[in-house]
Amino acid sequence: MTGWGALAAGLAALTVLCNAPAGAQEPYPSAAVKLVVPAAAGSTTDALTRLMADQLSQKWGKPVVVENISGGAMNVGAERVARATPDGYTLLVAPPSPLTLNHLLFRELAYDPRQFVPITLLAKVPNALVVKNDLPAKTLQELVAYAKANPGKLSYASQGAGSTAHLSASQLEILGGIKMVHVPYRGAQPALNDVVAGHVDMFFDTLTTSVPLFQAGKVKILAVAGAERSPALPDVPTLQESGLPGFRSITWFGLVATPNTPATLAGKINQDVVQIINSKEISDKLRELRLEPGATSPTDTAKFFAEEAELWGRVIKQANIPMQ
């Protein structure tokens, strides 16, 4: 047993220890805690992290600061956390790619995503197919027809190779039988800005940041990538309804610690974060942001990571996405 599966088993075996008192150890935290976001400010990841940082600061009575370290398909920020001291004072909040996928996409990584110590899923959200206003397609079917009539003309944005947006568009190419041009950006916000400006044709974005732009008339949303229609967009069909059965794309946000962080410490952080997520104030706030609260145990988080790696690993293989 290797990777996330072995880690899940190990965390399960340490459940009792995770809930045990720390004895004579110095209370955690006794100093400022840093939450690293491996993407630029303005993204859903960034907004969620800042919400959690504020709540944890209040709960712990210590500063909890957010540091945005973008670049390298989110590998730069993830590497920084991987090399930190495993004492819980530097944590990573990230979407899927640096936590479950980048080892499938990059030949040489300075860290192993499977070695991070899972703490919890903070939240999940369906992605939506967001397109520029002047794209000559009002439905997914029309977009696929346009792409087939104009091979290689349509472009799609992403936060980099292996990001959920990149793999979602690859899934669309596979199931729709089309070919598009990939345009990577350094984060979700600059990608969205260029869709609004009409410089790139489409972007698989979270409902959190795309719905306000849609409501303001700045972009079109052709379909939602969840299993069901979103309450925020009841008139917008899913990709499955629109002729692509089996299409699924959600973005989720995980909280992890540096490799070799003690399970007891991960358990303590988990308890505090889960208590915040489950509070009515924060769960209501997350839903206002169109996010589904997470609040998973370290063991369940590790299992979820393994399932996501398997799902998107198949897409990477089917799409023949080369390692970089």
Which amino acid, 125? V
The predicted pLDDT at position 25 comes to: 65
| CATH architecture classification, 3-125+251-318 | 3-Layer(aba) Sandwich (3.40)
Instruction: State how far the Cα of 95 lies from the Cα of 93, in Å rounded to an integer.
Output: 7
Q: Where are the domains of the chain?
A: 3-125+251-318, 126-224
Identical fold between 3-125+251-318 and 126-224: yes
- pLDDT tens digit string along 110-139? 999 999 999 999 999 999 999 999 999 999
Nearest to 166 by CA among 73, 38, 42: 73
Q: Which residues pair with 155 in a beta bridge?
A: 181
Which residues does 157 contact at the CB level (< 8 Å), separation at least 6? 165, 183, 184, 185, 191, 192, 194, 195, 200, 202, 203
Q: What is the pLDDT of residue 159?
A: 84
Residues of the chain under the 70 pLDDT cut: 1-25
Q: Which residue type sits at 26?
A: E
> Model pTM?
0.81
Report the pLDDT value the prediction gives residue 13, as an integer from 0 to 100. Answer: 47
Give the 3-state secondary structure of residue 277. helix
Listed as own residue / partner, the contacts of 223-227 with beta carbons closer than 8 Å and 24 or more positions apart are 223/128, 223/129, 223/140, 224/126, 224/127, 224/128, 224/129, 225/126, 225/127, 225/128, 225/129, 225/168, 225/249, 225/250, 226/126, 226/127, 226/250
Closest CA to 144 of 213, 188, 227, 202: 202
pLDDT in the model for residue 24 = 45
Q: 42: buried, middle or exposed (CB in 10 Å: 19+, 13-18, 0-12)?
A: middle
Residue 194 backbone phi and psi in degrees, to 5? -75, -25
SS3 at position 300: helix
Omega of the bond leading into 234 within 30 degrees of 0 (cis): no
Under CATH, what is the fold of the domain 126-224? D-Maltodextrin-Binding Protein; domain 2 (3.40.190)
Between vectors from CA 268 to CA 61 and to CA 75, what angle results, nearest 5°? 90
pLDDT at 324: 83
What are the backbone dihedrals phi and psi of residue 260, each rounded to the nearest 5 degrees, phi first?
A: 75, 10
Name the percent of the chain in helix, strand, coil, to the closest 5: 45, 20, 40
